[in-house]
């Protein structure tokens, strides 16, 4: 196994959360710092637990005020303290991943997830057969209800030839095309055609077809299985092992403001609705923070001996063994698209951020690569959006969005006309103004 130690450098703020959100009952803001309170510490200094419980029943409770009455400051009772540009007030503060000793780190699973998306994109772009599979699969998801209704009406859950005719008629295609779609359907439903006349098999087919495409959260799984491997034991990403980063000092963490921007007309603006502002405070790793992690490639999985079982083809092997090239190609696609988006919609500071990222990408030394990790990168970073467009075309992609309510207007349930998708971006603030995209890191192999 080839193991390489990498220096991971945060090029923009990076946030990976625990799921915990701190409210004003959990922390205090004072002197441009956010302080998470430690009840044990507060009580150890002589505070009355019952009096504190009564005070916290009030909506106007403030740690700073209450501790002042006890002749204490928030720092006296703080578990930890972080720089914070403004008072979060009633906006929750999202906790970042840390060790039990309050040392920030990045989990290897988050880094590997970003690599996985890049590998998936590379393989789909390179292989026409996989693109055809995606097109057929998504079309079947969109029309699954119609296909199911016809098969049910004809009582044809165990009839291969009738199912093929129904696909041809429902999808408006030739018998030969319908044959290909039929094989894709059996593949994604994990049905063996030769056993379809068995009661258990056709009932499984009936149940799985009825549920096909209903849950958008699981929409990408058949694509991943088709491209990367049918199960965990045969998954291409078994060959990539990424450690958690070594923990670093708490001083590399800060609380920052992230605001969701949306298009109004043709310009990006802060999203504000009747139910409130779309903003969040998060504990993020600051730009230029460096961490270290180990990345190991299991070369044995690409040997002839392993290939008898795993059967990884040459494109899969190349995508992993040339990992820097694979990840940089995907990063370039995202950076170029985002630079154009922000130039078009009037947020010049973000256009400049992506221009800087593009310059960094062009100047990378051998073996280094860029990734977008963690929360806030957006739907367009974490999915294969460009491939969905290619597979379905403009009309098909619009149908997909309508089917899964991606970007529909909340009041009408309809898609806005002629609006790009996605039309929102999460933007990190600095000095009270928009400044950063979230989640961009550089991975550089250490020498020696």
pLDDT of amino acid 225: 86
pLDDT of amino acid 436: 96
Angle, nearest 10°, between helix axes 199-211 and 128-153?
Answer: 110
Separation between Cα atoms, residue 4 and residue 443, nearest integer Å: 11
Separation between Cα atoms, residue 157 and residue 163, nearest integer Å: 8
pLDDT of amino acid 200: 95
C-alpha closest to that of 41 among 88, 115, 102, 124: 102
Q: What are the boundaries of each domain within the chain? A: 1-23+90-107+244-378+428-448, 127-228
Sort strands 93-96 and 279-285 into parallel, antiparallel or unpaired: parallel
pLDDT of amino acid 125: 82
Q: What proportion of the chain, given as a percentage, has pLDDT over 70?
A: 88
CB of 354 within 8 A of CB of 339? yes
pLDDT of amino acid 379: 57
pLDDT of amino acid 265: 83
pLDDT by residue (tens digit) across 375-385?
987 655 555 55
Separation between Cα atoms, residue 382 and residue 223, nearest integer Å: 14
Q: What tokens were used for 127? A: 């292989």
pLDDT of amino acid 307: 82
pLDDT of amino acid 37: 94
Show the low-confidence residues of the chain (pLDDT under 70).
1, 216-218, 274-276, 378-398, 400-421, 448
pLDDT by residue (tens digit) across 217-267?
667 788 888 888 888 899 999 999 999 999 999 999 999 999 999 888 889
Separation between Cα atoms, residue 235 and residue 312, nearest integer Å: 9
Cis previous bond, 27, omega within 30: no
pLDDT of amino acid 346: 80
pLDDT of amino acid 105: 98
DSSP 244: P
Q: How many CB atoms lie within 10 A of CB 57?
A: 7
């Amino acid at each position: 196994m080839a193991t390489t130690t990498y220096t991971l450098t945060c090029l923009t703020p990076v946030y990976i959360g625990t799921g915990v959100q701190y409210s004003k009952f959990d922390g205090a803001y004072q002197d441009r710092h956010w302080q998470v309170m430690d009840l044990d510490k507060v009580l150890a200094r002589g505070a009355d637990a019952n009096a504190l419980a009564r005070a916290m029943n009030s909506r106007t409770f403030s740690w700073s005020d209450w501790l002042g009455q006890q002749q204490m400051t928030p720092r006296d009772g703080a578990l930890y303290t972080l720089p914070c540009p403004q008072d979060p007030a009633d906006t929750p503060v999202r906790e970042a991943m840390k060790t039990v000793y309050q040392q920030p780190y990045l989990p290897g699973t988050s880094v590997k997830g970003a690599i996985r998306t890049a590998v998936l994109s590379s393989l789909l772009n390179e292989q026409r057969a996989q693109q055809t599979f995606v097109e057929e699969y998504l079309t079947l998801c969109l029309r699954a209800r119609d296909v199911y209704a016809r098969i049910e009406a004809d009582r044809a859950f165990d009839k291969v030839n009738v199912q093929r005719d129904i696909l041809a008629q429902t999808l408006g295609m030739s018998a030969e095309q319908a044959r290909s779609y039929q094989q894709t359907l059996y593949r994604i439903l994990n049905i063996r055609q030769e056993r379809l006349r068995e009661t258990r098999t056709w009932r499984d087919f009936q149940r799985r077809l009825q549920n096909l495409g209903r849950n958008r959260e699981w929409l990408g799984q058949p694509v991943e299985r088709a491209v990367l491997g049918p199960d965990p034991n045969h998954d291409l990403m078994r060959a990539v092992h990424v450690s958690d980063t070594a923990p670093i000092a708490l001083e590399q963490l800060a609380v920052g403001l992230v605001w969701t921007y949306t298009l109004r007309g043709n310009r990006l603006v802060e999203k504000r609705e009747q139910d409130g502002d779309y903003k969040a405070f998060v504990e993020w790793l600051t730009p230029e923070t460096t961490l270290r992690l180990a990345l190991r490639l299991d070369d044995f999985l690409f040997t002839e001996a392993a290939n008898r079982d795993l059967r990884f083809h040459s494109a899969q092997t190349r995508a992993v063994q040339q990992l820097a090239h694979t990840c940089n190609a995907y990063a370039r696609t995202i950076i170029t698209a985002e630079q154009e988006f922000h130039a078009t919609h009037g947020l010049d500071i973000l256009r400049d951020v992506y221009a800087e990222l593009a310059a960094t990408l062009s100047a990378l030394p051998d073996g280094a690569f860029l990734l977008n990790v963690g929360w806030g990168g957006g739907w367009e970073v974490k999915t294969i959006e460009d491939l969905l467009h290619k597979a379905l075309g403009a009309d098909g992609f619009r149908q997909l969005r309508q089917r899964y309510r991606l970007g529909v207007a909340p009041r009408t349930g309809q898609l806005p006309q002629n609006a790009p998708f996605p039309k929102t971006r999460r933007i990190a603030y600095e000095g009270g103004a928009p400044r950063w995209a979230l989640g961009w890191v550089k991975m550089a192999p250490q020498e020696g």
